[in-house]
Amino acid sequence: MLPSLTAEEADHCAAVTEFIRQHIAAASGWLSFERFMELALYAPGLGYYSAGSSKIGAAGDFVTAPEVSDLFSQCLARQCAGVLRTCGRGEILELGAGTGRMAATLLTALAESDALPERYAILEVSADLAARQRERLAQLPAALRARVVWLTHLPERPLEGLILANEVADALPCRRFLLAGGAVHELGVALTADGGFGEAHVAADAALTRMCRELCAPWPQPHPDPYMSEVCPRLEPWIATLAATLKRGALLLFDYGLPRAQYYHPQRTHGTLRCHFRQRVHDDPYARVGLQDITAWVDFTRVAEAATAADLSVAGFATQAAFLLATGIEELVAREPAGSGSHARLAGEARRLIMPGEMGEAFKVMALTRAWDTPLQGFTVQDLRRSL
Ligand SMILES: C[S@@+](CC[C@H](N)C(=O)[O-])C[C@H]1O[C@@H](n2cnc3c(N)ncnc32)[C@H](O)[C@@H]1O
């Protein structure tokens, strides 16, 4: 059972539901899941990321790595410092900066190691989260605060330095498909008799059919019938625009995800779609509409293909655990006196970030580079590129 709603939340959910209902009616009764997800997350003033629920952090719906512990961003800062020094300063562009905690910790750590970027730009689609980021980053010392700018679109002049995105790719709306009876269907949403949302599928168009047959090859065998999963065609244009923004340096993508062979493994019969509401994880995207996050894992093979097509090099692919170990998480914990409360707290946070049953294995990091031949510190412990 999901936690119940306050009267205000119920009103908001009803407003988002009505808004999507109108879109379903205007689309002759069936809306693709991709469009549903886009409206539920990003409809102006209504969608989950556009409206004011607390979302990220212990009081919200889910906790991301930078919110679990500043150790994550302190390790990332070491990787960033190396790239920025090689660039002779350069800049950082962070996509989807959430509460701003990662930006605050990164800037503080980079200042301590005398490797501040000339500029720290944030591109955030959520006005609500951008306001929270401004509030948080206003607390930084003036010399750091002055480097932060918010962008409304990607910079026209390509940058030298880093582009960072933690848990952004999994928030891109995806298409859902069903392989059944020897055919490919696209999942979407229609209205039920009582006006609610019900899952409904239609015959897949040629593009989706071709994609599914390639992704799930050999299909129909050995994939079970029925078999359901997701694909995110928005990844290619997203990576292409980011590639066009990078003149020299690295794009680091952290996210839940898998290489393609594991993503579309025959045993993963219900795909990777997950919803997050007040720290509960479930798989019903039609519940709590506008009040819950909806995500799908990232097919990192697709990211690598998109990057190669956009003339970027896939310079590294590793688990979050391997990246954090390579950038010195153990040493950061060991700086606190053994037996102290702060050591115990940091050790607990580090375990959550690196243990396989927690965030260590499910989260991966991929480095995509341009005009770069210096090894990246975060990928010196593990190289999973052959799994792609
Ligand atoms: C799951 S949250 C992660 C927030 C933060 N990076 C963290 O780790 O705590 C997803 C973030 O991506 C933002 N977002 C979603 N789509 C985006 C896009 N296309 N460009 C930039 N930000 C986006 C959301 O508004 C939100 O800030």
Q: For the chain, where are the alpha helices, taking DSSP H only?
A: 7-26, 33-42, 65-68, 70-87, 101-112, 127-137, 142-145, 206-215, 235-245, 260-263, 300-309, 320-326, 329-334, 341-354
Euclidean distance between the first and the last CA atom of the chain, given in angstroms as a whole number? 38
Cα–Cα distances in angstroms (integers) from residue 147 to residues 93, 107, 109, 127, 205, in the given order? 11, 9, 14, 20, 47
pLDDT tens digits along 122-180: 999 998 899 999 999 999 999 999 999 999 999 999 999 999 999 999 999 999 999 99
Whether the CB of 124 sits within 6 Å of ligand 1: yes
Asked if residue 277 lies in contact with residue 287, where contact means CB atoms within 8 angstroms, the answer is yes
pTM of the predicted protein model: 0.96
Is 63 near ligand 1, meaning CB less than 6 Å away? no
The CA radius of gyration of the chain, in Å to the nearest whole number, is 21
Ligand 1 touching residue 363 (CB < 6 A): no
CATH code, residues 65-172+236-387: 3.40.50.12710
CA of 196 to the centre of ligand 1 (A): 28
> Once rounded to an integer, what is the mean pLDDT over residues 224-253?
97
In the reported structure, the alpha carbon of residue 164 is separated from the centroid of ligand 1 by a whole-number distance in angstroms of 11
Ligand 1: does its nearest atom lie under 6 Å from the Cβ of 73?
no
Pocket probe for ligand 1: among 53, 68, 71, 125, the residue whose CB has the most ligand atoms within 8 Å is: 125
> In whole angstroms, what is the distance from residue 132 CA to residue 40 CA?
21
340 C-alpha to ligand 1 centroid (Å): 35
Kindly list the domain boundaries of the chain, sorted by start residue. Answer: 65-172+236-387
Please give the Cα distance from 284 to 24 (Å, whole number).
18
**Amino acid 300: pLDDT:** 98
Q: Please compute the mean of the pLDDT values over residues 83-89 and round it to a whole number.
A: 94
Mean pLDDT of 65-94: 97
Residues 347-378 pLDDT 10s: 999 999 999 999 999 999 999 999 999 999 99
Is the C-beta atom of 64 inside 6 A of ligand 1? yes
Reported as a single tens digit per residue, the pLDDT across 194-220 is: 888 999 999 999 999 999 988 988 766
70 lines ligand 1 (CB under 6 A): no
Report pLDDT for 217.
80
Average pLDDT value for residue range 286-313: 96
- Comparing C-alpha atoms, which of 229, 232, 206 is closest to residue 216? 229
pLDDT at 188: 97
pLDDT at 2 exceeding the cut of 80:
no
**Mean per-residue pLDDT, 318-336:** 97
Ligand 1 contact, 126 CB (< 6 A): yes
